[in-house]
A and B are shown apart, each in its own frame.
Chain A
Amino acid sequence: MYKIHSLLKRQLKKYFGENFTPDLKLKDFIESVDSAYKEFDSDRAMLERALELSSQELVQANTNMRTIFQAIPDLLFRLDKYGTILDYEGSQVNNFYFRDKNLRGKNIQDFSSNSIGEKFKAAINEVVLNNSIKTIEYNFEIENLVQHYEARLIPHNTDQIIVMIRNITDRKKTEEELNKYRNRLEEIVKERTIQLSNAKEQAEAANQAKSTFLSNMSHELRTPLNAIMGYTQILKKSSNIPQKEKEQLNVIIDSGKHLLSLINEILDLSTVEAKKEKLNKSVFNFSSFINEVVSSVKIMTSEKNLSLSYVELTPMPKMIVGDMKKIKQVLLNLLSNAVKYTVKGGVELRISASEKNSIEKSHMHTLSFEIHDTGIGISKDYLDEIFEPFTRVNNQQFIAEGIGLGLSISKGLIALMGGRIFVSSEVGKGSVFTFEIDIEKVEESTSSPKHDDEFEFISEPINKNILIVDDITTNQEMLIYALKPTGLQISTAFNGKETLEHLKNSVPDLILMDLLMPEMDGIDAVKKIRKDSLYKNVKILGISAAIADQQKVREFSLLCDDFISKPLNVNLLLSKIEKLLDIKFTSEDKNIASIGKTDQTEMPVNQSNPPRKILDQIIKKVNLGDFKGINQIAAALYTNPEYVEFTRLLEVMTKNFDEEGILKLCKE
C-alpha cells in the first residue's frame, strides 16, 4: 500500500481536511512532492550517517595519534611561522620545557639562552622559506648536568612547523666514548710505530757497530800480520839462511797469506753488508781482462789436472765501462769455487753480451757470465742457502779453504753493480753459476787507461832526506826495507824526544811519524816541531794503526801534513811521499818496493762524504757561527772510517774559522 510521507500527510490534512480526494493532476503533483520529501529524508539520513561515521573515524585517529605521541620519547610542538607554540605533545614530565605550565602562546625561542633561541629562529626561517626539513643540535646545563638536544623542524601545512625535540645526551656520551677509544687507539698505534722505528734504528746502529767492529778488528789483525809477513820475506831474502829454514819460512808466508785472505773476506763482507762499498768505474779492455782472469785460474786447474775452457757465445765488446776490480773479484771467486769443488773433468767459462731493448737503456749491454763445472754439485736443499754467509757445500770430503763468505760477497757485489746471480746444479754432475750485469757501451775508438802496474815512472835521481820515527824496531826496519830501493836518504828515531834531538843536527825533508810512542808521542813531537820556524819546510806524514784512540788519531792527523794508516800499503805510502816531496819514483823503484806489499792492503775503506742530512746540519751551524757545534759533529763523524778524509778537512777548516771553505766542502 502506498504510504505517503508523514510530513506531507500532516500538511495535506491541515490544509485540505481529513477526507480530501485530489483530482488526477493534483494527485500526480502530490506524488512528486511526496517522492521529493522522501528523497530528501533519505539523503539527509545518509549524510547524517556519514557525518557520524566520519566523526568516529576522526576521534579514533586522534586517539591513536595521542597514544603514538605518548609512545615517542620526543617532545612535539606545533609552531606558527614565528615560532609561537600552537600546541604540543610529550611524555617527559621531568623535561625542563614543562616547568612552565602553560606553553601555548609562548615562543619556542624563549626556553633557552639567546644563542639557542637564535638557532631556532634561523632554523624556523629556513624551514618556512625552503619548505624543507631542518635539524639543529644544542645543549645546556640542567642541575649541573649538560643535556644535549636535537630538534627536527618539519614544515607543516603552509605556514606551520612541527618540531620534534629529542634528548640525545646518552648518544653524545657514547659518541664521546667512541672518540676517546679511537684517539687512544691512534695513540697506541703511534707509540708502537715509534717503538718499531726505534727498534729499527737500534738494529741499524747495531749492524753499523758490527761493521765498524769488523773493519777495526781486521785492521788490528793485519797490523801484526804485516810485520810477520814483511819480516818473513826479509828473512827469506837473507843469504845465510839454510834451505830447510827457508822452506819453513815459506810455510809461514803461505799461512800468513791464507790468514790475510780470511781477514780480507770478513772485511769485504762487512763493507758489502754495511753497504759501504762504492762502485769505482773505469774504461777497460774486456778481452785482456778476461785473459788475465782465465790465466790466473789456469794455474789452479793445471795443478788439479782439470780442463779449463773459455767460450764467447756472442761477439763481445772490446771496451767496457765498469768496476773492473769487483767483476774480477766475483769471477775469480766463482771460478776458484768451481775448481775447488771439481775433482774430474773441468771448468768452463761462457760469456755472452746482449743489447738492452728499452730506449732509455739503449746505451747498455747486458753481460752474462756462466761458470760451468763438473764438480760434486749442490743438492736442492742447499741451493737456497749457498748465497747466505758462512754456508758451504756440506761434504766432509771437501774441507776447502775459506770460511764460506765468497758467494755472499759475490752476491753483494753483483747486487751493488745492479746485476743478479743464480745457480743450477745436479748432485754428482756439476753446477752452473750465472751472473748478469749491465755495463755501458764504449765507442770503439776509446782507448783504455793503463793498468795500475803499467804506470810509467820518470827516472830521476832522488836527493831527499827522510826520518822514520817508530818505537818498534821491526816497524822501522820494514819501512827502511820498503823505501831503500827508492834511493831516499833514511835515518831513524825511536820517539818524539829523539826526533827533536835529531833535528838539531840534521833537518830532513820528510818525517814519517808514528803516533803512539813512549816518552814523547807523535802529537807532542809534531806540536814542538811546528812551533820552531826552523823546521817550517819539514813535511810530516803521520802513521798510526786504527787501533789507537780515535780522538788522538784525529788530532794527530790534523797536525800532520798527511796521514797514512797501518797496515801500510807501500804503493800508497810511496805515492804520498811522492806528493809531499814533489818527486817521482821510477816503476822499478816501485816494483822493488812492492816486496813489502801484501795483497790488497789499500786504504781499507773507501772514502765518501757523510749523508746530506749531516751536511745540512753543518751548514746550519756555520751560518750560526757555532764552530764548537761543528767540532762535535766532526768528533762523531770520526767513528765512521768512511768519513775520515772528509772529517780531516772539516776540522782543519773549523780550526781556521774558514766558513767559506766549510760551506764549499759541504755543498760539493
Chain B
Amino acid sequence: MITEQSKWTKSEGWGSTNPGSLGKETQLVILFGSTENIREMNQFDFIKEVYPNAFLWGGSTAGEIFQTQVTDDSLIMTAIKFEKTDLKSICIEIESMKNSFEIGSHLGKNIDHNGLVHLFVLSDGLLINGSELVAGITQNLPANVTVTGGLCGDGDKFNETYVVCNGISKKGVVSALGLYGNNIKISYGSLGGWDPFGPERLITKSDSNILYEFDNKSALELYKKYLGDHAKELPASGLLFPLSIRLSESGEGVVRTILGIDEENQSMIFAGDVPEGSYARLMKANFDRLIDGASGAAKACESLTAREPDLAILISCVGRKMVLKQRIEEEVEAVKDVLGNKTALCGFYSYGEISPFNPSAKCEFHNQSMTITTISEL
C-alpha cells in the first residue's frame, strides 16, 4: 500500500508536495475540507484528472488534519494505492429512511459481507442520531467486521455538512466504505480526556437525542447559566461543557456533545442518545488529559499492530479544537509520537466519532474524543 498526500489552500494552492505521482494506480482518494471547499467541489476535477481511476470519498469538517498540522479552510487529499485490497461503497440519503437506526440497518445489510474486513463510515453531522446509526450498522454486520468513522463537520457554525461519495458532495447522506481482502490490517483506538464536575443530575425529560430537563429543570437554562456571556455562542460554546451520561447505576459513562439548541422548545439536540432516567454530569476539559487522551488512543492502535501502520485516519471532536485552540496541534503531535514517522496522518475535526473504546469493546458512538483508525497492508 502506497499513499501520497497533498493540501490545497486558497492562498497557496496545492502545496509543496506534488500530487499525482501514483497516477492511474490510485484506487482511493480521501478528501477532507472546509464546508466551502467540499461544497463547491472546485478542486475535484483536478483530482479526477490526476487520479483518473480513483474513488473520491470524504467530507466537510470543523478542521482538517494534515500530517501534524491542523488547518481551517483547506482541502486535504490522501491518495492510496492498495496492492491486495478491494473497495466497495454504499451511500444512502437520510430523508429516504424513517430514522437513524433504519439507515444504519440498511447500510449494514446492503454492503457486501463477502470478504468484508472493515467498514469506514462518514455521515452527515447534523441530521443524524449517531448512537442509533451505529446500533443499526453493527446489528446487521458479521461480528468480525470492525466499524469506525465519524460525523462530518461545519466549522463552528453547525449549519450544513457534506459527504463526498464517488466524487460528488452531498448534504444529508451517510456513506460507508468497505475494505475487502485478507491482507488489510486495521487497528483503532478512542480516548477522551474530559473530567466531569459538579453534581450528578437525573435526566427527567428527554426524547432520544433531544434533552429537555435535568432534575425537572430546563437543561438549556442550566447551560446558559454556566456559559454566561458565551451563551450567545451556543451551540458551539456548548461543546465546552459536554455531558457525561451514566445509563445505569454501575454503567460506564458515555460522552455526549451538543449539536444544536431549540429556543422555542427550550431543548438541546445532542449527537447521541440522552435517555430519560440516566444520570448526567457536566464535563470540562483538562488540557493535559486531552493530549494524553490522543496519545492513549494512538497507543491502543499501536498495541494492535506489529509494525508502523501505513496510514492513520484521525477523527477528533470539534470540542477539543475549541478548547485547545492554538495548542490543538499538540494532540496530533502526540499521536505522531506514538505511531512513528513512517505513518501518514490525515483526518478531521468532527461532530461525532464512531469506534470501539478498545479492541474488545463493541463499536460505539462517541463525542469529544480522539478516534484513530490505522490501515496497513501486509
Binding site for B on A (CB under 8 A): 32, 35-36, 39, 43, 45-47, 49-51, 53-54, 57-58, 61
Contact = CB atoms under 8 A, between A and B. Distances in A.
Contacts of A50: 197-198, 226, 241, 282, 284
Contacts of B323: 43
Nearest to A49: B228
Contact of A36 (B225, B228, B230, B326): B326
7 contacts: A35-B326, A36-B325, A46-B227, A46-B228, A50-B226, A54-B197, A61-B199
B230 A53 contact: no
A53 B326 contact: no
Contacts of B240: 46
B225 A53 contact: yes
Interface residues of B, number: 15
B326 A57 contact: no
Interface in B280-296: 282, 284
A57 B282 CA distance: 13
Given A36-B326, A50-B241, 11 more contacts: A35-B326, A39-B326, A43-B323, A46-B230, A50-B282, A51-B197, A53-B198, A54-B198, A54-B282, A57-B198, A61-B199
A54 B198 CA distance: 5
Interface of B: 197-199, 225-228, 230, 240-241, 282, 284, 323, 325-326
Contacts of A45: 228
Contacts of A53: 198, 225-226
Contacts of B230: 46
Contacts of B199: 54, 57-58, 61
Nearest to A57: B199
Contacts of A36: 325-326
Contacts of A43: 323
A45 B226 CA distance: 11
A49 B226 contact: yes
B325 A39 contact: yes
B196 to A, nearest CB: 11
Contacts of A49: 226, 228
CB-based closest 5 A-B pairs: A54-B198, A57-B199, A39-B325, A49-B228, A36-B326
A57 B227 CA distance: 15
B230 to A, nearest CB: 7
A54 B323 CA distance: 20
Contacts of A47: 284
Contacts of A58: 198-199
Nearest to B285: A43
A50 B282 CA distance: 10
Nearest to B326: A36
Contacts of A35: 326
Contacts of B197: 50-51, 54
A53 B325 CA distance: 25
Contacts of B225: 53
A266 B199 CA distance: 98
B345 to A, nearest CB: 24
A393 to B, nearest CB: 84
A62 to B, nearest CB: 10
B287 to A, nearest CB: 9
Contacts of A57: 198-199
B356 to A, nearest CB: 27
A49 B230 CA distance: 12
A526 to B, nearest CB: 102
A465 B226 CA distance: 138
A57 B217 CA distance: 13
B216 to A, nearest CB: 13
Nearest to A36: B326
Nearest to B241: A50
B326 A32 contact: yes
A613 B282 CA distance: 86
B263 to A, nearest CB: 21
Nearest to B198: A54
A576 to B, nearest CB: 99
Contacts of B227: 46
Contacts of B198: 50, 53-54, 57-58
A41 to B, nearest CB: 12
A36 B327 CA distance: 9
A506 B144 CA distance: 130
Contacts of B241: 50
A61 B226 CA distance: 17
A46 B228 CA distance: 8
Nearest to B240: A46
A5 to B, nearest CB: 14
B240 to A, nearest CB: 7
A61 B214 CA distance: 14
B197 to A, nearest CB: 6
B365 to A, nearest CB: 26
A36 B197 CA distance: 25
Nearest to B281: A54
